[in-house]
A and B are shown apart, each in its own frame.
Chain A
Amino acid sequence: MSGFTRGLDRFLSSLGEDALSTGCDRLDLLLGGLRPGRLYLVYGDPDPVEELLIHILVESLRAGGRAAYMLCGNYRVEKTLLNVEGLVRLLEESGLAAEDALKRVYVLCAFSADQQAGLIDEISDLLARDPEVRLVLVRDIAKLVTDDARSRSRAARSQELQGAALRLKQACAERNVPLVVSCRSRRGRGLLPMPEGGEFLRHLANVILYLHRSGRGAAYVRAHLLKHPAQVPRTVEYSLRRDVEVGRSTPPFRVSFEETVARLRKEFQKALVDRDRREAFEALVEAWSSELGAMSYAESLTLFDLMLLAAVVDNRSLIARLMKGFDDLRAEMGRLRERDAEG
């Protein structure tokens, strides 16, 4: 039959294609990298899932090309937005220019199930329009089945999701783009929790990966490979080198600032040897805090750059004030000298 490709042929030919890295060697070994046209379903503890998605995103940007990142969630129930600050830090650590890399990421935000269905069609159009898109990520693909704003039967919502997920997988397969989707976990009958989204999504996925932290606050994440066309199910432990808080939400500027200050207090200030410098750090917090308006007004720099800039500006204003004080003293001394000379 002309135009028909057998699954086995497709699978064998995909082995010859370049796989995208996850940003973690052990995961790459476990999964064999991210192969074009396959659907990877990642679920489990929210933090490691988000962390992995963002690392995959950065790796794809490092490889060149563009990526589409879709965030699904009803913000009235639970926000799902992109922590740009975290992403920027990771991009910079990877040696990428943040502005250029961020311009290469299409972000699609779906706040309702209807929007999600519409945006999945938009991704298909995007893939057809822009051949530079090399990766599609969808965070919390099944969340809006539970949290949708419109009152409809769960069956209707699930059906809509299934249709949309199938269209998305087909579009990615046609364009040879790996599709990575995440979802929340829910309790199942077995030892491991099940992914949200039902049997259809599990059936649709080529690869299913369950992630959970080894222990509370542990650095290592345990990854269980549950489904793979060429690997047997097994478990590995991994740790992503760069620790980054990502994907929770797009927090207000003030919240990002407070988090950064808290982190710097913990990671930097308490390591300062000189007591005066510790005090000086607190004075800088005051300076940043008093110019938070200007920092949040600037659109083109990252928060950390802005904090450094604000600190420099504050130092400059202190120098100017000291200089003025010094000039006043010098003038006063001159006057006293003149008076002495006269007297």
Chain B
Amino acid sequence: MQNEGWLLDVSIDGGDMVLWLKTVAGEVVEIRERYRPRFHVAPKRGVNIEELTARLEEHPSVYAVEATRRFASLRRRRLIDVVRVTVESVEDLPKVESFVRGLKEAGSLYDVDLRPVQWYLFRRGVAPSDRVLWTGVNGRLEEIRAVDDGLALEPPPFKPLIFSVDQGDRITVYDGEFKTSCVLEGGEATALSRFEEIVEERDPDLLVAESVSGTVRGLLDRAKALGFDLCLGRGGGGAPSGRVLLELKTFREVGLAGLVEKARFTLAPLGMCADWPAGKTIDSRQCYEAWRLGVLIPESRGGYGYVSTAWDLARRDRGGLILSPRVGLHENVGCLDFESMFPNIIVRRNVSYETVGPEGVDQSRPGFLGGFTRRFLERRLYFKHLRSRFPVGSREWVWCEQRQLALKLVLVCIYGYSGCFANRFGNVRVFQEINRVARRVLVQAMNIALERGFEVIYGNSDSLFVKKLGAARWDYEELAGEIATATGLPIRLDRHFRFLVLLSKASDPRTQAANHYYGKLMDGSLFCRGMELRRHDTPPFIKRLQMRGMKVLFDAESAEEVMDRQLPKVQKLVEKACGEIIRGEVEAEELVISKMLRRRPSEYASKQPHVVAAELGAEDNVIKYLFTDAGRVNPYMRVMPVSLLNGCHHGYDRKKYAELVRRAAENLLRPIL
């Protein structure tokens, strides 16, 4: 009988691949399939394929060998002779691989360094979370295939259970909104057995917690130590089989809908791919696409090294183009933004590993990279645009946001990963070509804007800030349309500023600062980049002051009003804030600086304040401290970690904080003073 549902998880058990499927009726079923991993091996130069085949057949764990022909590279111009080796089981794979590497007849190995689960899913052509149809007899899988659910918005009905374990004897369970649902206490054994009851009762598909693997393992170990078997899995036994373990941070950031996108992109189990970095995520998709085209997957040793002339390097090794900002206050500014510029360049200019060479881009055949980037780019843009049809914060809006964000995080990295040394198909020229095209496109866009009478006041890689006296929203949209037609790349009016201040460098006011600006949009909201208030190491008091300063500054109808009426108000505001600090009226907690410690304190060469605070006893990686006497010669007397502050501590360095306030105000107002 044919069943319909979603593929929840896949794992290996001995010689079987175990599939957990959730039916449309909400039931979760386990079904198994015998799985024999395969890989390819090429004969060494001078060795014939029969000779190699005969040697490979000698190994007892080799199930089958077969001479075949596959493409050697993404160019797909040449088929080479290889032997396909089928191994008895996943457990036997390492020893067979090791045996093959030791054979003098064997050359390169292919299709080896992905996980067996990935290869299984590649061969089956289904991704976890896919809607699937399957048939099975006596718990053995006969057939499974993905049903195209197209652009369905709602994620599969997988039930999460979010929990945290505090101090070993208290387990807190949260609801879908991350609010406390129940607290399990009364001793360790009681909490554990109540947790088991909750798992059994709610029957979740996803277990979500901080450091989830360690947390679950810790619970199982504690239960064992206490003398009972904690059952968190579906198939009986302690291990949470049939349930996916997910990190709380990832689940909060991209949600289930985002994780579904990632699983479909990678064709890897949800619990496996959720926390993969972008490179590994892209690698999985690339391997799948290459394998489908009959290309052998080389071992992951990075792409081929880069060879060019110094002249070529000098001309091509450049990043995105920055058109220097015109420092000062501007009125009625449109920020035109190229939509997914780099993925679009890959798709529309056919930039790919095998199409880009020293002579340019081969347009005679579609590129490998563009092939799959196009599908996911279109998918991302679909959800991005669909989002605007729903009220902000609604369930549908959140799903759209999670899906488009997950895809965006992958798509923006395809460009960077294209030249990365860790990329097995990598080609530095791809990375350089994308940058080259992006630079040309920005200059083309700038010239169109200038021809139409707009002033270009700033440009940064994929965005252009333009203004024109009396221009309305539709003027900017019309300009964007014209640029899109001319360049062949989509661009739209991203933000329409009533006022915009472009900043110069704090260290050298005569030099313009890229990506440092703030402004007020036409809808009245404030927007800023590169300001103190966006930084983690700015005290809350200064962040609020900057925000308040912006609000006051832009509470005007024209640039003249900003300068003549509002600017003095902001200056007064700053003086008042400095006065409060000098008089010690500001609570110490408001002046706490937070900074991430990336290494052990002993590894730092200089005694920076956060390093000293860490040495003095800060309790976390995010060091929170207060300046107590910044002028002291002894660095250990300059700061104090928050953990050592008592409730009524007012002993902060007033002069230092007043200076920080003035500096923040100066950064805000420097270009218009």
Q: Which of B382-431 contact A (CB under 8 A)?
A: 421-422, 428
Give the residue name and chain of the B residue nearest to A291 (CB).
B324
**Other-chain contact of A300, B307, B315, B324 (Cβ < 8 Å):** B315
A25 lies within 8 A of chain B by Cβ: no
Q: Are B308 and A107 in contact (CB under 8 A)?
A: yes
Q: Are B306 and A112 in contact (CB under 8 A)?
A: no
**Other-chain contact of A292, B314, B316, B318, B322 (Cβ < 8 Å):** B322
Complex Cα distance, B315 from A299, in Å, reads 5
Q: Which of A258-276 contact B (CB under 8 A)?
A: 258
Complex Cα distance, B512 from A108, in Å, reads 35
| Distance to closest chain A CB from B411 (angstroms) | 22
**Other-chain contact of B311, A102, A110, A118, A122 (Cβ < 8 Å):** A102
Mark B439-478 against chain A: 1 for CB-CB distance below 8 A, else 0: 1000100000000000000010000000000000000000
| Distance to closest chain A CB from B251 (angstroms) | 28
Q: Are B324 and A112 in contact (CB under 8 A)?
A: no
Chain B residues with Cβ below 8 Å from A250 are: 313, 317
Complex Cα distance, B314 from A253, in Å, reads 10
| Distance to closest chain B CB from A293 (angstroms) | 4
| Distance to closest chain B CB from A168 (angstroms) | 13
**Binding stretch for chain A, among B123-131, B296-304, B602-610:** B296-304
Complex Cα distance, B428 from A109, in Å, reads 10
A207 lies within 8 A of chain B by Cβ: no
**Other-chain contact of A293, B316, B319, B323 (Cβ < 8 Å):** B323
**Other-chain contact of A84, B314, B439, B459, B514 (Cβ < 8 Å):** B314
Complex Cα distance, B424 from A150, in Å, reads 12
Q: Are A150 and B307 in contact (CB under 8 A)?
A: no
Given A149-B421, A292-B322: A285 and B511 interface contact (C-beta under 8 Å): yes
| Distance to closest chain A CB from B289 (angstroms) | 22
| Distance to closest chain A CB from B94 (angstroms) | 16
Chain B residues with Cβ below 8 Å from A103 are: 309-311
Query: Inter-chain contact count A-B, CB under 8 Å?
Result: 108
Q: Are A108 and B306 in contact (CB under 8 A)?
A: yes
| Distance to closest chain A CB from B140 (angstroms) | 38
Given A289-B510, A296-B318: A112 and B301 interface contact (C-beta under 8 Å): yes
Q: Are A149 and B309 in contact (CB under 8 A)?
A: no
Q: Are A149 and B324 in contact (CB under 8 A)?
A: no
**Other-chain contact of B309, A74, A102, A290 (Cβ < 8 Å):** A102
Q: Are A118 and B511 in contact (CB under 8 A)?
A: no
| Distance to closest chain B CB from A259 (angstroms) | 13
| Distance to closest chain B CB from A288 (angstroms) | 9
**Other-chain contact of A109, B301, B306, B422 (Cβ < 8 Å):** B306
Complex Cα distance, B324 from A253, in Å, reads 13
Interface of B is mostly: mixed
Q: Are A119 and B307 in contact (CB under 8 A)?
A: yes
A238 lies within 8 A of chain B by Cβ: no
Mark A281-299 against chain B: 1 for CB-CB distance below 8 A, else 0: 0100110011111001101
Chain B residues with Cβ below 8 Å from A293 are: 321-324, 459
| Distance to closest chain B CB from A270 (angstroms) | 16
Q: Which of A77-125 contact B (CB under 8 A)?
A: 81-82, 84, 87-88, 99, 102-112, 114-116, 118-119, 122
Chain A residues with Cβ below 8 Å from B310 are: 69, 82, 84, 87, 102-103, 105-107
Chain B residues with Cβ below 8 Å from A297 are: 321, 439, 443
Q: Are B319 and A122 in contact (CB under 8 A)?
A: no
Give the residue name and chain of the B residue nearest to A262 (CB).
B508
Q: How large is the interface on A (under 10, 10 to 19, 20 to 34, 35 or more residues)?
A: 35 or more
| Distance to closest chain A CB from B460 (angstroms) | 9
Complex Cα distance, B304 from A110, in Å, reads 9
B305 lies within 8 A of chain A by Cβ: yes
Give the residue name and chain of the B residue nearest to A120 (CB).
B305
Complex Cα distance, B313 from A122, in Å, reads 18
Q: Are A285 and B510 in contact (CB under 8 A)?
A: yes
| Distance to closest chain B CB from A41 (angstroms) | 22
Complex Cα distance, B514 from A291, in Å, reads 13
The interface centre, meaning the residue of B300, B303, B310, B422 with most chain A CB atoms within 10 A of its CB, is: B310
Q: Are A114 and B514 in contact (CB under 8 A)?
A: no
A337 lies within 8 A of chain B by Cβ: no
B326 lies within 8 A of chain A by Cβ: yes
Q: Are B318 and A289 in contact (CB under 8 A)?
A: no
Complex Cα distance, B428 from A107, in Å, reads 13
Complex Cα distance, B310 from A82, in Å, reads 8
Given A69-B310, A84-B310, A112-B422: A289 and B305 interface contact (C-beta under 8 Å): no
Q: Are A99 and B311 in contact (CB under 8 A)?
A: yes
Q: Are A149 and B302 in contact (CB under 8 A)?
A: yes
Chain B residues with Cβ below 8 Å from A253 are: 318-319
A252 lies within 8 A of chain B by Cβ: yes
Chain B residues with Cβ below 8 Å from A277 are: none
Complex Cα distance, B426 from A109, in Å, reads 13
Q: Are B324 and A114 in contact (CB under 8 A)?
A: no
Q: Which of A141-162 contact B (CB under 8 A)?
A: 149-150
Given A114-B301, A299-B315: A108 and B307 interface contact (C-beta under 8 Å): yes
Complex Cα distance, B511 from A192, in Å, reads 45
Give 9 A-B pairs besides A111-B421, A118-B304 with Cβ atoms closer than 8 angstroms.
Answer: A102-B311, A107-B307, A107-B310, A111-B305, A112-B422, A114-B301, A115-B302, A149-B421, A292-B324
* Residues of A in contact with B (beta carbons under 8 Å apart): 69, 74-75, 81-82, 84, 87-88, 99, 102-112, 114-116, 118-119, 122, 149-150, 250, 252-254, 258, 282, 285-286, 289-293, 296-297, 299-300
17 A-B residue pairs with CB within 8 Å: A102-B310, A104-B309, A106-B310, A107-B306, A107-B308, A109-B306, A112-B301, A112-B421, A115-B305, A119-B307, A149-B422, A150-B300, A254-B514, A285-B511, A292-B322, A292-B323, A292-B512
Q: Which 10 A-B pairs have the closest CB atoms?
A: A111-B421, A293-B323, A102-B311, A115-B305, A114-B301, A119-B305, A105-B310, A102-B310, A84-B314, A299-B315
